[in-house]
Amino acid sequence: VVSYTSLLNAYGRSAKPEKAREIFDMMKRNSRKPNRVSYNALIDAYGSAGMLTEAVEVLREMERDGIQPDIVSISTLLAACGRCDQIVKIDGILSAAKSRGIQLNTVGYNSAIGSYMSVGEYDKALRLYRSMRESNVKPDSVTFNVLISGYCKAGKYSESLKFLDEMMDLQIPLSKEVYSSLICSYSKQGQLTEAESIFNCMRESGCYPDVVTYTAMIHAYSLTENWKRAWDIFQDMEGNGIQPDPIAFSSLMEVLNRACQPEKVLQLAELMREKHIPLNSSAAYEIISSCSMLRDWKTASQVIEHMEPSLSSISVGILNQLLHFLGKTGKIEIMMKLFFKILASCSNVSRATYSVLLKNLLAAGKWRKYIEVLQWMEDAGIQPS
């Protein structure tokens, strides 16, 4: 049962809920009765994929099969509500927990508060936080970070700082997530000095910055158009033995491009290749932008050759943006090359992708190609809008 459940969970984590369900059904067929953990893992597989209805249905199935849901089942569903923007369901799940006599623990409250925050129900989140305190359930750094980052995102900065104070009063140590949130929200308010001071506090407290924290700082410098400091802090990160990831690279590349430093961008591209860091589409976009400034089409072409083979796993939006950029700058051949690569690696290419392609072909006066692509699109079963 444990082995099956591990496999089920692995499918859930890789966003394959149908596969998870297959394993689950296989357990039932092979008389390996799924236990509570198996059911919970399946609920999460659906919940993480945004399939809330199916997730709730698994809870019912669980009860029909004589297994009592526990607080993990409930927390999993509560968290899923936030991801699916289902305001109504949060209340329903809370009352379902109550009617079954399941008391919320810290994670349960955190999940519910977080979901309320992410659907914009700040008052309900706050009320729930109060009842958490009244029920003597201990808030932790996650509780406060949910509140702090949620209120920041809503632009309610003074409220969010109140929670920071409350957290310190309770002597809950600030986690690196909290530090990163604070850096992020100060920099978005244009308070670079505050962001820097948080970053320094963090180092002094012995809670060492990781690649996420550094990226938040790079972005802070990016927002203030300070490419040199962004560059320096990137060096500092490497000096501290922290491996930059594709997001860190692309964030730095973005500010460098805006500051007209394409050579530096290509230098970073070379470093990524040396370190075998996969090119994500944002980094590819920035590299191609810098190639464009330098009129270096050969490198641009090579970048596309080296892009991750698993293009299907990255954002379609940014791939389309990349196609659009290539088309706009008249690089039709490279645009087509990327398109073929997308075709080869994605099972379904959306109308949006075809639209970008068509628009740019037409703008470039390639009407023969336009008609050809239009035909491919119809062949693929996509109706022109």
Partner RNA sequence: CAUAUCGGAGCACCU
Q: Is 141 or 197 the residue whose CB approaches RNA more closely?
A: 141
Rounded to the nearest angstrom, the gap between the alpha carbon of residue 117 and the centroid of all alpha carbons in its chain is 17
Q: Considering only 22-30, 68-76, 87-95, 227-235, which stretch makes contact with RNA by CB under 7 A?
A: 68-76
- Asked if residues 233 and 214 have their Cβ atoms less than 8 Å apart, the reply is yes
Closest CB to RNA among residues 266, 357: 357
When asked if residue 382 is in the footprint of RNA (CB under 7 A), the reply is no
Residue 160 lies near RNA (rule: CB under 7 A): no
Site mask, RNA, residues 75-114, x = CB under 7 A?
Answer: xx--x-------------------------xxxx-xx--x
- Looking at 1-9, 95-103, 228-236, 287-295, which segment touches RNA (CB under 7 A)? 1-9
Contacts of 243 (CB under 8 A, 6+ apart): 211, 275, 277
Contact code string over 200-239 relative to RNA, x by CB under 7 A: ----------xxxxxxx--x--------------------
Contact call for residue 296 and RNA (CB under 7 A): no
Does position 261 interact with RNA (CB under 7 A)? The reply is no
Cβ–Cβ under 8 Å, residues 297 and 331: yes
Site for RNA in 37-66 (CB under 7 A): 37-38, 40-41, 44, 48
Is residue 179 at the binding interface for RNA, with CB under 7 A as the rule?
yes
Q: Looking only at residues 111 through 130 of this chain, which bind RNA when binding is defined by CB under 7 A?
A: 111, 114
**The pair of three-digit structure tokens given for residue 192, joined into one six-digit string:** 């670079």
- Give residue for tokens 């190609």: 369
The residue type of 95 is S
Q: What does the longest C-alpha to C-alpha distance in the chain come to? A: 71
> What are the DSSP calls for 293-335, one per residue?
HHT-HHHHHHHHHHS-S-GGGS-HHHHHHHHHHHHHTT-HHHH
Q: Does 360 bind RNA (CB under 7 A)?
A: no
Q: Which two tokens stand for residue 332?
A: 């039709």
CB of 266 to RNA, least distance (A): 18
16 binds RNA, rule: CB under 7 A: no
Taking the complex as a whole, how short is the minimal distance between the CB of residue 379 and RNA, in angstroms? 19
Angle, helices 332-345 vs 351-363, to 10°: value is 160
Minimum gap (Å) between residue 351 Cβ and RNA: 6
Rounded distance between C-alpha atoms, residue 54 and residue 46, angstroms: 6
- Cβ-based burial of 10 (10 A; exposed 0-12, middle 13-18, buried ≥19): middle
Sign of the alpha-carbon dihedral angle for 299, 304, 305, 309:
positive
> Least Å distance between CB 137 and RNA?
11
**Contact between 2 and RNA (CB under 7 A)?**
yes
Using CB under 7 A, pick the residue from 192, 259, 294, 318 that binds RNA: 318
Q: Which of 175, 191, 224, 226 binds RNA (CB under 7 A)?
A: 175
Comparison of 266 and 322: residue with beta carbon closer to RNA = 322
- The residue assigned the tokens 């149908």 is 18
Phi, psi (5° rounding) for residue 110? -60, -45
Total of chain residues touching RNA, rule CB under 7 A: 74
